[in-house]
Amino acid sequence: MKNKILIGCYIVIAILGCNAPSRTPEQKTNQINPAVIKSNIKNVIKQEQLVMKKDPVCGMPVWKYLEDTTIYQGKIYGFCGKGCKDEFVKKTEDYIHSAPEKTPAKTKM
């Protein structure tokens, strides 16, 4: 009797397992692909949500070259790249007070 119950359970489990929706390899590993997030950053936030129109570090137009963001005191700051974001995180107060919106940073060539 025990064997019949166990066999019945195995059959039910096998049938239910076959009806499970298939997952992509990315879903199976439960890893988030940073490249996908980076390419879709403009789909996640709106231009109006950014505090400044220009990168606070280099002065480039943020929306056109948006590559990364950070949140400081509840506000979203956009950056043209990781280097500018890292610099901003190190010296946040300096960049907030320098306001490149009014005076874009000059770059050396």
46-66 pLDDT, tens digit per residue, is 888 888 899 999 999 988 888
Q: Tell me the one-letter amino acid at 78.
A: G
Segments of the chain scoring below 70 in pLDDT: 9-10, 12, 14, 16-40, 99-109
Quote the pLDDT of residue 17.
Answer: 62
- Please give the C-alpha separations between residue 58 and each of 11, 51, 65, 68, 71, in angstroms, as whole numbers: 64, 15, 12, 14, 18
Quote the pLDDT of residue 8.
Answer: 72
> Looking at the whole model, is its pTM more than 0.85?
no
